[in-house]
Structure 1
Amino acid sequence: MRVLLIFFFCLIASTGGYSQELNFTVTINSERARTQNKDIFEQMKNSFEQFLNGRSWTEDQFTVSERIKGNMLVTINDMPQVGFFEATVQIQALRPVYGTSFETLAFNYVDREWSFEFKESQQMEFSRYSYLSEITSLLAYYAHIVIGIDYDTFAMEGGEPYFEIANNIMSNAQQAGRNGWGQTTGSRRSRFWLVDELYNSQVSKPVREAFYLYHRQGLDLLISNPEKAYENILISIQKLLEVNDTQPNTILVISFMDAKSDEISKVLKNAPMEIKEQAVEALIKVDPNNSRKYNDILKD
């Protein structure tokens, strides 16, 4: 499905097909790790990248130019014992904008509760039907989240099959009792709540609609049909407000704004004043911490 959509966008650079969907760069920040063996972090980086980039996550065919670009920053917060790590993970995924050389940040999320074991020459085994390790479960979980969101930006609710798999990975991982997979965490920023909002929650459905409207019916049309593009960007923001009014501080709304606040401020600068005024009113309600940034949209 995604390949056909990209073909429609004229972004396919070659006719050969490849199965790998991701092109992620992994960075390991090990400054806080209490170990002299720094080589293990280079192995960790290479293992994580190979796991994410070297396998097929879907049944679709991707060319090299179609692969989803992204970054994963793993910050080691502590190493309480040899081979055991406590970390924060930031995941970012990019999406091309039709007719331009610009890549928009489609997903930006910080996971603050990851503890895992990693040893030299560790095998990276994974099954979507059972929990085998904390590392491969988390990496596979976010691989499917990223692919699902990417597909959502090209077709309305196009990521549904991948959020279902991420939900299954989460359910299997809960059995291990590790932090981040359950719903009893101190906040809603956990893997449980993220996939719950993407896959299970009807309240959050308008955010997924916003992914499509903002990207495919908004950014992708800015050159060919700017009037329609600005209208759809406004509708996407209003859908975020709809969710925020019903259930404040949802992960999806926060994540959307974390990825888009700067971009939205720049894009709307050239919008008609009526669109600007309605958008700013909604944005300030959805993301009050950035009110000054949004008010600047109204300045000439």
Structure 2
Amino acid sequence: MRFKLSLFFFIILTSKVSAQELNFTVTINSDRARTQNKDIFDQMKNSFEQFLNGRSWTNDQFDPEERIKGNMLVTINDMPQVGFFEATVQIQAVRPVYGSSYESLAFNFVDRNWSFEFLESQPMEFNRYSHLSEITSLLAYYAYIVIGIDYDTFAPEGGEPYFEIANNIVSNAQQSSRPGWEQNPSNKRNRYWLIDELYSAQVTRPVRDAYYLMHRLGMDQLTKKPAEAYQNILEALKKLEEVNRTQPNSILTITFMDAKSDEISKILKNAPDEIKEQAVSILLKVDPNNARKYNDILKG
């Protein structure tokens, strides 16, 4: 009986420890792929989803409804030989807003340069201390990026340990000489530079503060403390302005605005006029490509 009880509690504890953090949907766009074997893309989708959703990435316990929702769109650009693919990957992740059924887009990034091998029944092996394959390194990298940003929205620099792991994945993957992992000054919208600004570059740290101010102290508080919430959203934009002054065209600032620009525009239309005016002045500097959208904020 004691053995059975011990086994019972072991199973319970094991199930809690192994709770998964991600709930991702993977879509494979294979329209450009030159192959008659379309079944391989169904296998690819299932393998990628199982890898992302079927393992534990942290030591924290997540209830099913707490899992981080996201989408990964893999667009196959070319298939120069059997089993070898060149692709673009778009990763999006959302975060719930406290006191509502609304889900806020927290991360939106397009990785335009990914080459990898995938064969039927290919094992998906990953070791955070070494580079085993392009697929598992990239999927794990974005898993830790998404988790890190999610944690940053709930606590100041809460994602630090996960960005450290993502940084190690990049260091290990550089031995592959595949694009996207390298320190290429002519292409600063790749995996190397994204994690460099999230983890290593002190000059861009205020953007991580902006994630917390925007979400936990801003959007989460809008229904209960709107005056404070709007002020904190403005403070988040001031953090972006600070980085924009010292490092224009920061990949982290661009990534933040790629996720939040539409949402910020809608939220600020209901803000006090003084907040609107200050916010629009900042937004026009930080994200001038969306000037029309931000000028519409002042129209109410």
Aligned to 1:231: 231
Aligned to 1:275: 275
In the alignment, residue 44 of structure 2 is paired with which amino acid?
M
TM-aligned CA deviation for residue 184 of structure 1? 1.9
Paired residue secondary structure (1:57): coil
Q: Flag as ranges the 4+ runs of structure 1 deviating above 6 A.
A: none
Matched, 1:61 2:61: yes
Deviations 1:188-236 (A, max 9, x none): 0011100000000000100000000000000000001000000000010
Deviations 1:66-93 (A, max 9, x none): 0000000000000000000000000000
Aligned to 1:11: none
Aligned to 1:3: none
- Describe how 1:69-80 pairs up with structure 2 within 5 A: 69-80=69-80
Aligned to 1:244: 244
Paired residue secondary structure (1:86): strand
Matched, 1:132 2:150: no
In the alignment, residue 281 of structure 1 is paired with which amino acid?
S
TM-aligned CA deviation for residue 107 of structure 1? 0.2
Paired residue secondary structure (1:270): coil
Paired residue secondary structure (2:203): coil
In the alignment, residue 195 of structure 1 is paired with which amino acid?
I
Paired residue secondary structure (1:252): helix
Matched, 1:50 2:58: no
2: CA distance between counterparts of 1:187 and 1:35? 31
Deviations 1:158-178 (A, max 9, x none): 000000000000000001110
TM-aligned CA deviation for residue 29 of structure 1? 0.2
Paired residue secondary structure (2:192): helix
Paired residue secondary structure (1:186): coil
TM-aligned CA deviation for residue 186 of structure 1? 2.7
Matched, 1:221 2:234: no
In the alignment, residue 100 of structure 1 is paired with which amino acid?
S
TM-aligned CA deviation for residue 187 of structure 1? 1.5
Aligned to 2:120: 120
Aligned to 2:108: 108
2: CA distance between counterparts of 1:146 and 1:282? 26
Deviations 1:242-282 (A, max 9, x none): 10111011111101111111100000011000000000000
% identical aligned pairs: 76
TM-aligned CA deviation for residue 185 of structure 1? 5.5
In the alignment, residue 20 of structure 2 is paired with which amino acid?
Q
Deviations 1:6-31 (A, max 9, x none): xxxxxxxxxx9461000000000000
2: CA distance between counterparts of 1:127 and 1:36? 33
- How many aligned residue pairs are there? 285
2: CA distance between counterparts of 1:245 and 1:217? 24
Deviations 1:26-65 (A, max 9, x none): 0000000000000000000000000000000000000000
In the alignment, residue 87 of structure 2 is paired with which amino acid?
A
1: CA distance between counterparts of 2:150 and 2:261? 18
Paired residue secondary structure (1:203): helix
2: CA distance between counterparts of 1:282 and 1:180? 31
In the alignment, residue 90 of structure 1 is paired with which amino acid?
Q
* Closer, same or farther: CA 42–185 of 1 in aligned 2, 3 Å: farther
Runs of at least 5 residues in structure 1 that lack an aligned partner in the other structure: 1-15
1: CA distance between counterparts of 2:158 and 2:184? 30
Paired residue secondary structure (2:269): helix
Paired residue secondary structure (1:284): helix
**Larger C-alpha radius of gyration, 1 or 2?**
2
In the alignment, residue 140 of structure 2 is paired with which amino acid?
A
Aligned to 2:188: 188
Report the TM-score when normalising by structure 2: 0.94
1: CA distance between counterparts of 2:289 and 2:139? 31
Report the TM-score when normalising by structure 1: 0.94
Matched, 1:81 2:57: no
1: CA distance between counterparts of 2:193 and 2:87? 19
- Give the aligned CA root-mean-square deviation in angstroms: 0.9
